[in-house]
Amino acid sequence: MLSIQPNDSGGLSWFGQALRVTWRLVGQFLPAYGTSKIVEWQSIDLATVPQDLTGQIVAREPYPTSIGTFSDVWKCLYIFGQIQELTVAVKTIRGHRVDESRPAKIKTLQDQVKRWKTLIHKNILPVYGVTYEFGPLPSLVCPWMDGGSLTHHLETHPDLSPEKRHEILLQICDGLCYLHSEEVMHGQLNGSNILMDRKGNAYLADFGFLPVVLDFRTAPYLSTAIGNSVRWAAPELFEIPETPDGPPLQLTMQSDIYSLGSIILQVLSGDIPYYEIQRDDQVLYAIAQGMKPSQPDISSVTDEQWEYIQQCWSSRRENRRPSAKDVSVFLTSQRLR
């Protein structure tokens, strides 16, 4: 298989991409390879997937499919076994600082990936491993989700029944319950990091990824969350330390629960939090003023549900936020009514 060197900007050169795409097209017609077999990601045994997938990932396009604040996502093919193919997403970190600590940080990321590969749950998007062909840093490899993000799914399916909305919420809660039982904080739970399959099932993605980004960029949570999670994030994550040398606030299970409350509001109402505010920097200002998302004036969110959402949003100092398991029990009771 061809080996293409990444460029310094964190992506593949145009020439390198062209070679890989050409190799992919030509390879389809070589008798030695035979007919490739496309497989579904649910059929993959994670125990058989090596952590280093370099040389087995082929980009389908010369450009990222989506571009985020500090990372890009490429739609690729993972080729393995007897020319079997699986569509995967490759997530790259870009805009990183180059310093003497990079090798240690890469080792930390590799250790994290090894840990993430052990997290297996029906509502958790599995992490297959890494590839080193999309930039100077390891890039994560995960299954590609045809249904897109939760936010996209809700926008394109406005007529979802209340039963289906509760089913999605229970799937999200089950995934978060599992992560918390494994002492893993998601850290960035929002409408973009919950992905949907073509059947409308929900999967938590990018769990634990935020600290990795912060480590490589040495950036505060505030600058990382703008344009990404600010509408869902717990207000305490934006607080400035009381002293210049004070420790930064840590992501916690309780900050995940605040975000989960925002997800509940989004799924039940169909609108993102603070939908009436267009710009994320304006949302941040509203949060600084103590403003919470407004109560929908629709019957899809009952008074009892709204009260429970507000409990998820209670101040961390009040220590009233429920656990993910508590939220799951509450939603189950609501569905049975």
For position 242, what pLDDT does the model report? 67
For position 297, what pLDDT does the model report? 82
- All structural domains of the chain with their residue ranges: 14-18+29-143, 150-335
* 3-state class (DSSP) for residue 292: coil
pLDDT tens digits for range 280-330: 889 999 998 999 999 998 888 999 999 999 999 999 888 899 999 999 999
Closest CA to 89 of 134, 53, 17, 140: 140
- 124 close to 178: Cβ distance less than 8 angstroms: yes
- 98 close to 151: Cβ distance less than 8 angstroms: no
- 162 close to 183: Cβ distance less than 8 angstroms: no
CA–CA distance, 204 with 225 (Å, rounded to integer): 18
- 94 close to 135: Cβ distance less than 8 angstroms: yes
Pick the CATH number of 14-18+29-143 from 3.40.50.300, 3.30.450.80, 3.30.200.20, 2.60.98.20: 3.30.200.20
For position 30, what pLDDT does the model report? 37
Cα pseudo-dihedral 231, 70, 117, 74, rounded to 10: 110
Number of H helices, E strands in the chain: 10, 9
Q: How far is CA 116 from CA 64, 243, 245, in A?
A: 24, 34, 32
- 111 close to 230: Cβ distance less than 8 angstroms: no
For position 149, what pLDDT does the model report? 96
For position 219, what pLDDT does the model report? 57
pLDDT tens digits for range 196-235: 999 999 999 998 887 777 677 655 555 555 557 899 999 9
User: What are the φ and ψ backbone dihedral angles of 335, each rounded to 5 degrees?
Assistant: -70, -30
For position 34, what pLDDT does the model report? 46
Q: How far is CA 227 from CA 11, 218, 272, 283, in A?
A: 22, 18, 13, 10
User: What superfamily in CATH does domain 150-335 come from?
Assistant: Transferase(Phosphotransferase) domain 1 (1.10.510.10)
CA–CA distance, 69 with 225 (Å, rounded to integer): 9
User: What are the φ and ψ backbone dihedral angles of 314, each rounded to 5 degrees?
Assistant: -65, 160
Residue located via tokens 């100092």: 317
For position 200, what pLDDT does the model report? 96
Burial of 39 (0-12, 13-18, 19+ CB in 10 A): middle
Q: What is the mean pLDDT of the chain?
A: 83
For position 245, what pLDDT does the model report? 62
- Residue 193 CA to chain centroid, in angstroms? 3
CA–CA distance, 129 with 142 (Å, rounded to integer): 7
For position 211, what pLDDT does the model report? 75
Confidence of residue 48 (pLDDT cuts 50, 70, 90): confident
Residue 194 DSSP label:
E
Residue located via tokens 């050169």: 13
User: What are the φ and ψ backbone dihedral angles of 76, each rounded to 5 degrees?
Assistant: -135, 175
Residue 29 has pLDDT above 60, yes or no: no
* 3-state class (DSSP) for residue 283: helix
CA–CA distance, 134 with 89 (Å, rounded to integer): 12
CA–CA distance, 273 with 287 (Å, rounded to integer): 12
For position 109, what pLDDT does the model report? 86
Residue 12 has pLDDT above 80, yes or no: no
Kindly calculate the radius of gyration of the chain based on its CA atoms and give it in whole angstroms. 21
